[in-house]
Structures are given as C-alpha cells and as structure tokens.
Structure 1
C-alpha cells in the first residue's frame, strides 16, 4: 500500500450497476460489496486498530449503504467518495462512542507542526509492517495520519470529520509522522 493520497476506494462504479442497486437488485449490491469490502475493511483497520472492530465497521457501513443508496444523487461527486464518507464516519463514531478519541486529545501545540510533512519512509509500503507501526500510535493520531496519507483528505476535511480544528489535524499529523518514522526506521544492518 503506497501512501500517495490515492484512495483505494477510487473505483469507477457503472451507472447501470448503481441504478440496479438502487432498485433493490441483490446481485448488484453484492457486486458493490465485493468491490468495496477490502477498502472499507482496510480503512476501518487503520482507524480502529483491530480486525474485530474493523469487521464490525465493514458490516455497519455496508448496511448503511444498502439502506441509504437511494439518497445517493451523484451531483458530480463519485459513488466511492460517498461510500467512503459513510465508512469514515462509522469508524470515527465507534471511537467516539468508546470515548477513545476524547481521552487522547490533548491541547494543541502549534510549534509541533512546523511543516513536518516529509513523506513516510519506504517501509510504510509494507502493509503488515505499516499496520503494526500504526497500532503503536494513539487513536486520534492514527486516524488523522491514515485519512491524510492513505486517503488523501485535507486538514479541513479531517477537522470536519473529527469535529476538531485544522490545526489539531496538522499537529496530530506531524506527531504521528514523526513517531511512525521512528518506528519504521529499519536499520541497514538488519539486512546483513
């Protein structure tokens, strides 16, 4: 998984398939489920941090999509963006419900994010390694990091999703990127 900001959700869904799903065609919805199962699960895993919860987020997201697909109008925005928004909201809602976000959110220190936005180390491309590294971060930090690097959300968008300020998003990103780099520093000697 290369964290380039290109979303794994970016799947072009044919209008005909959407129309069938909206009309209640089960086979069409199953097709959508198969296409989006992995991106939703991965997103949920990166935010929630464990597979069981990620599975719950996947199920809840898909149930919501099924129940609300009639509301999707397009209006120039892609279906995958609409579905991803539901997945992100679901994952973050669970964290809020568990009070995990509230406990960790401290006071913003603007000095922390002096444009410390260097790319993640190459080791981040290894999904398993990345998941272990992300698991070492606080929930809020991990969520911001993944939404920014993995999904390409802007700080303004992340702030709206997490009900915080853009400066909160920037400070969490700087903190998380720094920690992740430290965790992912694979010493050269290790390969010898």
Structure 2
C-alpha cells in the first residue's frame, strides 16, 4: 500500500478512535474496549522498545492511568494516541529509574510493525523487510533516533505529537526521525548490510549519533 493509502487508513482509524473515546468518556465500556483495541498494539510496541520484556506490566500500569484520567482528556483520535503514548513513556521511564536501566530498543512483535501510521518512503521500505531484518535495522540506531522512529512508525504520531511525548523541540525530533529513517533507508538500499550483531556497523540505541 502506498503512502496515500496508509494516510487514508490512518485517518479512518483516527475517526473510529475519536468516536470511541467520546462514547467511553460517557461511560460506554464497549467503546473503551474499541479504543483499547486500536491503541494498545502500538502503545505496547513503543513501551517494549523502552523496557523490553517488562512491557506488558508497564503497559498495564499505563492503561490503569489512562482509564482513571480519561475524563480529563480533550482532543480527537490522533490526540488520544499521543496522550496515551506520553502516559506510557512516563510509566516506562519510572520503571527504568526503579530498575536503574536506560531505555533501549527491544524486540517488536510483527503485528505492531503493521500498525497504521504516518509512513514516509524510508518507513515503507522498512516494512517490506522481514520482521527480524526490520528489528535489526532499528536496533542499529542511536537511542534518540530509535525512539523517534518508534513513535512515528509504530505509534503513528506526527512530528508535533512526537515532540510533545519526548518533551523536546519539534525541530530536534524532526532531525532525529529524519536521520534515523535516512539511515534505515540507506541500509535497505544496501540490502541490509551492517545489521548483524557481528557486523562492523553494529550499534546500540545508547551510542552517540
């Protein structure tokens, strides 16, 4: 599917999500389940990229907070995805502080990589690879670039929403996402070279860009 098709599908998901959130705020439990179904795979993938195998527990804590504070949310479906991603990030960072670990990009499930989002050429090229190859590519990125790519491609946030989640200026986030996606595109063009653990270009998300 081309970029135009992805954008139309993303808008369709956001329209459904907007309606579900509005009904959920009025006490409709089925509508909350719809919102959960749409948002959770991307949120779980993002959290998994930060905390690894503890993602299920951290995401559960995030959903408890989301359910508790749902009445305070104001915005549409796209805004809800950004709001939930911000809550997920806060819970992940709290967890990491308790565990004295740094955020890292870990394994993502295949269905997460197929979530709708605002994909550009590099991200679309990434999707054409096998899940294992895509993960290997993402894990070569410095942490800030990896997190920006996760938010843009996995959660499907736009640039300003990604900046709000990360607490950084939009320009800095755009630069991180651009550099990360550019590096991924270069790897794809070269046939995925330098992505194996023993390859000369192996890097971890904590390395400097």
Aligned length: 163
- Among 89, 92, 95, which residue is 1:92 paired with? 89
Deviation at 1:85, TM superposition (A): 1.9
TM-score, normalised to structure 2, is 0.58
Distance 1:62 1:186 in 2: 39
Q: Return closer, same or farther for 1:22/1:84 CA change in 2, 3 Å cut-off.
A: same
Partner residue of 1:165? 169
Partner residue of 2:199? none
Deviation at 1:153, TM superposition (A): 1.5
- Among 182, 186, 189, which residue is 2:191 paired with? 186
Distance 1:3 1:134 in 2: 20
Whether the 8 Å CA contact 1:57–1:87 is kept in 2: the answer is no
Q: Return closer, same or farther for 1:95/1:179 CA change in 2, 3 Å cut-off.
A: farther
Deviation at 1:48, TM superposition (A): 2.1
Distance 1:161 1:17 in 2: 20
Partner residue of 2:179? 175
Q: Return closer, same or farther for 1:141/1:66 CA change in 2, 3 Å cut-off.
A: same
Partner residue of 2:148? 144
Partner residue of 2:72? 71
TM-score, normalised to structure 1, is 0.61
Whether the 8 Å CA contact 1:141–1:176 is kept in 2: the answer is yes
3-state SS, counterpart of residue 120 of structure 1: helix
3-state SS, counterpart of residue 136 of structure 1: coil
3-state SS, counterpart of residue 10 of structure 1: helix
Q: Return closer, same or farther for 1:168/1:96 CA change in 2, 3 Å cut-off.
A: farther
Superposed CA offset, 1:117-141 (max 9, x none)? x831754114613233212222211
Whether the 8 Å CA contact 1:65–1:83 is kept in 2: the answer is no
RMSD: 3.7
Superposed CA offset, 1:49-92 (max 9, x none)? 73x2432343233222211222234xxx42x2243123321343
